[in-house]
Structure 1
Amino acid sequence: MDILIIGGNRYFGKRLTSALLGAGHQVTVLNRGSSPAPEGTLSLTADRNDEAALEKALSGRSFDVVVDQVCYTPRQADIARRVFAGRTRRYVMTSTVEVYAYEDSAVPVTEDVLDLGAVAVDLGLPWEDPEFLEAHYGEGKRQAEAVFAAAGAPFAWTSVRVAHVLGGADDFTGRVGHYARRIRAGEPIAVPAVNRPATYVYVEEIAAFLAWAAEAEFTGPVNAHSHGALTTARICAEIEELVGGRTVFQEVEVGEVSPFSFARGYAMDNSRAEALGFRFRDSSEWLRQALSETVGAEVEA
């Protein structure tokens, strides 16, 4: 297949690219040109926020599948709907567990708890403002999905709701490092008084899932995560084993809490993905390895 990846040069995006190349697909990577395209791929350069530039870069090209790694806002989704109409038969959007951030459920949530038809889309919000976008990350993804779910989508589409990702020496988020430094120093780790477990996925596993989704035919949202929800305490216990030191939790009623700490329950249910044919591992099988990869890289740095 001829597959276009939008923004495939970072973290699990580059692993996805490698997986698709290894499967024999022709892969084209579109980005702003700030980093070279991975070896073995074709390269297109455009700012995906600039519709005219995107149209120009794609002139005369069509693809079996588009995998959009960097669709964060309804405005970007709206552009993609127009630009890729007639240029692809299938569109895969990388979404996030954070679309469920308004939920507070005692049981894992399925895809249908979020009614995309009821999501109000506001293209006029300041989505181009980095601070606004960061503060409204889940809302941006939620509205982007709603744009594709609207009646009359010009291509088959799916949104992959990715769990919290762990692993890799190239984890750029700093979340594991936050814990490692505090545990090593015995400094307090701020958590909510009621700290809910959450769903996670190993970086290699989510890349494999996205490659599988690109080759599949299903449509609509799908949750993607490993079995076995994890607590902050479980993650910290593993990091403590790796770096030494002591975990000290400090419960806070208001204010900012540490990453991987959740006052609301919105762990995901991956039954749909498994019914479609993908088999996830249990988080206990990869957690130590994933954390070791990231902590080890930070120690070496």
Structure 2
Amino acid sequence: MRKVLVLGGTQYFGKKLVQKLIENGDQVTISTRGTKNDPFGNQVERLVIDREKKDTMGIAFANKDWDVVYDQSCFSPIEARDTAEVLKGKTKRYIFTSTQAVYEFGTLHKEENFNANTYEIIYKTRKEYPGYEGYKEAKRSSEAVFHQLGYFDAVSVRFPIVVSADDYSERLKFHVDKILSGQAIGIQNSDLRYSFIHADEAAEFLLKIGASDYKGPINPGSAGDISLRELIDKIVKLGGKEAMIDASITAENPSPYSLPGSWSIDTSLAERLGFAFIPLDQLLEELITYYIQEYKRV
């Protein structure tokens, strides 16, 4: 039985990961601020920490060790450094949930397009990373800490946009609801392209990559990418309603996917390592169909 620590694990695909670890027979500890309830009952141990206060981790992790650590809750290089220092010698394998946002805006990025081993780290708190640019820098710097310190066999999992029927952000649902209700969607550039992964597959990937001996960065997800225009066309076709696209952005209409540029990843390395994901068209069409059915029930 492996001993596994999950930093976070009480939101979205973090919860799915914890459930999969339990079903895998692992001895699971989740470590959070203790402000959210979780559904795991006595199936997990719980440790209360504050990622922004190193001493809380030192106390919580004293005299403990784990076979693998999953980090779902790191949002600054200071947190990465403090956590790495506290966990040094307590685990050999560290799986960091990162993002495709570490890459510059663009399409089908390969792992080598951002090198965490040479990235210059500027230590800031999570509050000093506002907006998309801040998020990008925070994740880049956090990756750099884990890989440059070399305390663990570290993996940076660069997730694309995560979607599922139970997606709390409802970003895909936003587009379906707007089109079916005849409301405008604010999009200034319909040609921007993005990659996606199903939340269940995100959790399954984390489970399996943690059990492997791979280390370094990796891009998981459905192969390829899709433009906002193509996404809207899918919703129109499946929903039978025309879309109203407005280049004038207001407080009510902006598409949650209308970002400053394209972000998509090349998933061929994960595929070569034996990981399989649902085809992108199937993933999106199944979810769009689900949201259409939910809309019609209301």
**Range 153-162 or range 235-244, more displaced:** 235-244
Give the Cα–Cα distance (whole angstroms) in 2 for the partners of residues 299 and 71 of structure 1: 39
TM-score computed with the length of structure 2 as normaliser: 0.88
For 2:98, the aligned partner's letter is S
Could you tell me how far 1:96 is from its partner in structure 2? 0.6
1:57 aligned partner: 60
1:193 aligned partner: 189
TM-score computed with the length of structure 1 as normaliser: 0.87
Q: For 1:15-54, list aligned pairs within 5 A.
A: 15-37=16-38, 38-39=40-41, 40-54=43-57
Computed over aligned residues only, the root mean square deviation of the Cα atoms, in angstroms, reads 2.7
**Range 109-118 or range 20-29, more displaced:** 109-118
2:79 aligned partner: 76
Give the Cα–Cα distance (whole angstroms) in 1 for the partners of residues 291 and 59 of structure 2: 39
For 2:232, the aligned partner's letter is C
- Contact 2:64 2:90 (8 Å CA) reproduced: yes
CA displacement 1:111-137 (0-9 Å, x = unmatched): 10112244232114x5235x7266611
- Contact 1:51 1:79 (8 Å CA) reproduced: yes
1:159 aligns with 2:160: no
Identity rate, percent? 27
1:176 aligns with 2:172: yes
2:119 aligned partner: 119
For 1:282, the aligned partner's letter is P
1:249 aligns with 2:269: no
Give the Cα–Cα distance (whole angstroms) in 1 for the partners of residues 17 and 99 of structure 2: 16
For 1:79, the aligned partner's letter is D
Residue 299 to residue 11, structure 1, CA distance change in 2 (3 Å): farther
1:209 aligned partner: 205
Residue 297 to residue 187, structure 1, CA distance change in 2 (3 Å): closer
Give the Cα–Cα distance (whole angstroms) in 1 for the partners of residues 161 and 76 of structure 2: 19
Residue 118 to residue 155, structure 1, CA distance change in 2 (3 Å): closer
Residue 153 to residue 178, structure 1, CA distance change in 2 (3 Å): same
1:119 aligns to what SS in structure 2?
A: coil
- Contact 1:195 1:261 (8 Å CA) reproduced: no
For 2:150, the aligned partner's letter is A
- Contact 2:220 2:270 (8 Å CA) reproduced: yes
1:288 aligned partner: 285
Residue 297 to residue 85, structure 1, CA distance change in 2 (3 Å): farther
Could you tell me how far 1:29 is from its partner in structure 2? 0.7
Give the Cα–Cα distance (whole angstroms) in 2 for the partners of residues 48 and 288 of structure 1: 38
Could you tell me how far 1:167 is from its partner in structure 2? 0.8
1:95 aligned partner: 98
Residue 177 to residue 265, structure 1, CA distance change in 2 (3 Å): closer
1:128 aligned partner: 127
CA displacement 1:219-241 (0-9 Å, x = unmatched): 11100111231222333344446
1:268 aligned partner: 265
Could you tell me how far 1:295 is from its partner in structure 2? 6.2
2:106 aligns to what SS in structure 1?
A: coil
Give the Cα–Cα distance (whole angstroms) in 2 for the partners of residues 134 and 268 of structure 1: 17
For 2:85, the aligned partner's letter is R
Give the Cα–Cα distance (whole angstroms) in 1 for the partners of residues 296 and 35 of structure 2: 28
Aligned pair count? 294
- Contact 2:189 2:258 (8 Å CA) reproduced: no
- Unpaired runs of 5+ residues, structure 2, are none
1:144 aligned partner: 142
**Range 285-294 or range 190-199, more displaced:** 285-294
Residue 93 to residue 82, structure 1, CA distance change in 2 (3 Å): same
Could you tell me how far 1:69 is from its partner in structure 2? 0.6
Could you tell me how far 1:41 is from its partner in structure 2? 1.3
- Contact 2:106 2:264 (8 Å CA) reproduced: no
- Unpaired runs of 5+ residues, structure 1, are none
1:12 aligned partner: 13
- Contact 2:177 2:295 (8 Å CA) reproduced: no
Could you tell me how far 1:194 is from its partner in structure 2? 5.7
1:225 aligns with 2:221: yes
**Range 243-252 or range 108-117, more displaced:** 243-252
- Contact 2:95 2:157 (8 Å CA) reproduced: yes
